[in-house]
Structure 1
Amino acid sequence: MGWQAAEILLLQSVPGLSARTVLQLVQRYPAFEHFQSALAAGALRQLGLFTDSVLDQARSRARDILQRCQQLGIRIVTVADADYPHLLRHIPYPPVVLYVRGQLQSENVPVISIVGTRRCTLYGRLCAERFSEACVRAGAVVCSGLAQGIDTIAHQTALRAHGITYAVVASGLDRIQPVSAARLAEQILEYGGAVLSEYPPGTRALPAYFPQRNRIISGLARAVLVVESGIPGGALLTAHFAFDQGRDVYAIPGNITSEKSAGTNMLIRRQIATPALSPEDFLADLGLTTLAPAAPAPTFHSPAEERLYALLGSEPLHIDVLSDRAGLPVHEALAHLLELEFRGLVRQLPGKYFIRSA
């Protein structure tokens, strides 16, 4: 019959019983009944944790968790379940329990984790957007940690591209902070994605939980891409977890004078990560192909619009540079660019920088 969620939650609720020991017990005994038999026979007496009163309290705590999950629409997936994520099951010390809202895809759908610093540069933002959208076009799930910066950009870009994204959090699913992250989690669910945690409802995030969360982000994925990271950085920890788990690790090279790229450049230099030089090469390495939508040829309302559009690419250009190269006064160039932006051909970035829309 195997282990039931309530039985595993009971073990997790026993004071002094570590997550590693719970995993070992679930792996050692085919079902809870076998565990009870070993307990009755005194085989686990050395643990000294399973008194009747302790088990009664643990059973009550497990019932409370189950009830709360039912109220919140949270599904409990245990390592003993057939629908536990296949790749995650085989990492060292996988989470015994996953609390899930939303829908996990079948194991034949590739998952790619995109991570990076909370305080990203414009370069990091643009790279995260390009790679996240390309992953969606290739049919992959984009996974990240719902943190500010690169994580949020990866999630939001996947949603704009009508893709599926997973968010792994370091708190209970009812304690996601800040409010902006909680709103993004709801959007992920609306678009058919999933939000996951190994912590039960009511658990607030603590600093020690984030490294544990990172091993799940890497463990779910076929490959991990680090967009930007300083030294030290949580994204570097995710990369090291991925490396130890046998995942493909990639990093986007950055400016050697930028602190935000010191971590990614270090991963490449130490041959922990492969340089990700373009979304197409990155996905080809993984045997995936980007299915870019066929875009109609742009139409222009004036020669000035056409000149400005021709000057733009994926590298941001300032309005002063564009007006100079197009031979137009700044105010005229800006008016034309705003019209192009209104029609979805151009995108304005902070500081009056412009690029072509993807």
Structure 2
Amino acid sequence: MMSRLAITSLLAAAAAGCAGQQQAQTGGAPISKEERLRITNQSPFDVAVCKTQAPALSQPANQGILVGALLASRPQVMECLVDPKSRGTAETTRLVVKTTVNEQGGSHVISGENLTPEGIACVQKLVDTRVPLTPLAKGAAPVESESTFVHEAGNSPSVRFGLNPGSDFSGNVRLAQAQWCDCYAGYETKAPPTLRANVDLKKASATAADITFDSVGTPEGDQLAACLKGKMMAVPVKLEVDELKFPYRFVHFNSHATEPAADLTPELRLLQLDLVRNQRSADAAIAFGNRANAAEAYDAIVAKYQKTKDWKLIDELKSKCRTLVDSAQAWVNSIESQRQVDQSTVDLARELKAKDAAWGDLEAKTQEIIAVTQQDLDTAKQRLAADQGACPKETTEAAPKKKK
């Protein structure tokens, strides 16, 4: 299963290529006059960044838990790379987190391509906080994992300064969103609505002269707009012309959403589904690791029982086997949730293909992914059945079986 988990998503690449996003390009290519006049830096914001509490991880660490924990941190890692200070001049930034845990402790080593010291420091602080590492038991085999994140300036959310004053103001707004999480309270399980702000900048004013939002039509949407307006009014302005007016479009995603993002266009819903799938994949990897730990703990008590034949251990045997079965069921549930997202993606790809045949490739790729997910689900269900069959039923039962 671990070989099938990747930080960069096949669906994300395909969807981004078809849907596109209005963002500034980086790199050394000459900047056209049109690009200098166009307002950029209004890339989507994933409100999952605001979820600072990392998922609880069972101990000891194993590969499944480490891979899942780092995958769950993807929104925060990618947010580090939005800032141009984190990236060099190339369009593609590749970031690798190599994690090692042994009986002395553990470490996350950050490396990659097109990373700046600021970018490395941002990710280092993030993974050290979200994925704490505890020393393994004496004599335990070391555990290693490697996770790769790829940021594409043309497709991934990113900011570039120096194009024009409107883009610079927009870039400062976009970078500040990660500090405006109080505005997004109440959106833990859904993507906030898309908003349009009408920005009026004046040379004589150190901040925006005026900002108005188009009506959202819902109390919570209008409340979000009011909160964001207050934040935007504090963003500094540097303007050489007398006045500049332009719209700012807030596009929101939520990797942790459990509700459909009906507010988004079909193309953006596809990207939203891909972000959700990344988190469901993280859940499945962590559940896989939790089940492995539960199996190891059960094997240990079985070995002790078989050596001592002490029937006083039966209660502990039953308890640890219940934990094993529960963890196996959680693994099954997590893969089923992942498959539901895959099916929603196929359905949406078909909807898009009806309007543009080019989306047929994405539909085919998603069908392939569903087939792989189904294989993982079948494996997990078989393991669950085996775990259930291994549990002791009564104290008169023969010695319980070890798990693998």
Structure that is richer in helix per residue: 2
Same fold (TM over 0.5): no
Q: Which has the higher contact order (CA 8 A, sep 6+)?
A: 2
TM-score by length of 2: 0.22
TM-score by length of 1: 0.24
